[in-house]
Amino acid sequence: MDYIAQGFIRSIELLLSGDHETYSAIFTTLRISSLSIIASLIIGIPFGFLLGYFEFPGKRQVRAVVDTLLALPTVVVGLFVYAFISRRGPCGELGILFTISGIAVAQTILITPIVISLTATAVESLDRRLRATLVALGARGRQILITSLMEARYAVLVAAVTAYGRAISEVGISMMIGGNIKWHTRTITTAIALETGKGDFAVGMALGIVLLTFALVVNSSLTLLKKRS
C-alpha cells in the first residue's frame, strides 16, 4: 500500500518542481487536442448547420450515420488512419505517421461527428420563426448561417467542449499514430499507460491529476454553458 502514497507524494513534487518530462507530455496533449478541435470545428460547424437547418431526402439516414459515429472506437480510427498515412499507404507522401500532425488528423476524424451532431441538434432546436423572420428581413446564405449559429452559440460551445473532452482523454489514437515518442508525441494518456506498465506510478499519477483537472474544468464549463443555452 505504501507505494501508492509514495507515488502520490512524488507526483505532487513532480508537478510543483516543473519536471520536464511531465510537462512535455502535458503540452504535447494540449497542442494536439487544440489542433484537432480547431480543425473539427472548422469542418463540423458548417456541416452541422446544414444538417440541422435544411430538410432534404435522406436526412434522417445521414443523421443516423453521424450519430453512430459518435461512438467511433479510437482504435478503429487509429487503425484506418495508420493504414492510410503509413508511407506504404495512399497518403504516405505526407510523412505524418508518428508526428503530432498525424495524431491531430486522426483525432479530428474522431471528434468531428460530435461537433456535427451536437451543432445539428442545436440548430434544429432553434425557434422555427427565426428562420422566417431572417428571410423576411432579407438575410441571405451566410447571414442566415451566422445569425442562426449566434442564436445557438451556447449549444455550439457545448459541442466544442464535449469534443475537446473526448480529444484530450483518448489514448488509442495517440498510442497507435503517435508511437509514444518521448519529448515529441508522448501525451498525458500514453505516458500514463507506459508508466503503469513499467510500474512507475508517480509520473502516471502526476499526469492523472492533471488530466482530472482538465476534465473538471471541461465539465464545469459544460454545466455552465448548458445552463445558459
Interface with other proteins (CB under 8 A): 27, 30-32, 34-35, 37-38, 86-88, 92-93, 95, 97-100, 157, 179-184, 197-200, 221, 224, 228
What is the rounded distance in angstroms from the CA atom of residue 53 to the CA atom of residue 57?
Answer: 13
Give the number of C-alpha atoms closer than 13 A to the C-alpha of residue 218, restricted to the C-beta side. 18
CA distances to 72, 109, 228, 229 from 173, in Å: 12, 11, 33, 32
Q: Are 109 and 70 in contact (CB under 8 A)?
A: no
What is the distance, to the nearest Å, from the Cα of residue 48 to the centroid of all Cα atoms in its chain? 16
Nearer to other proteins, 35 or 118 (CB): 35
Nearer to other proteins, 33 or 51 (CB): 33
Nearer to other proteins, 64 or 182 (CB): 182
Instruction: Give dist(CA 208, CA 189) in Å, integer.
Output: 8
Q: Which C-beta is closer to other proteins: that of 148 or that of 185?
A: 185
Closest CA to 107 of 12, 183, 31, 19: 31
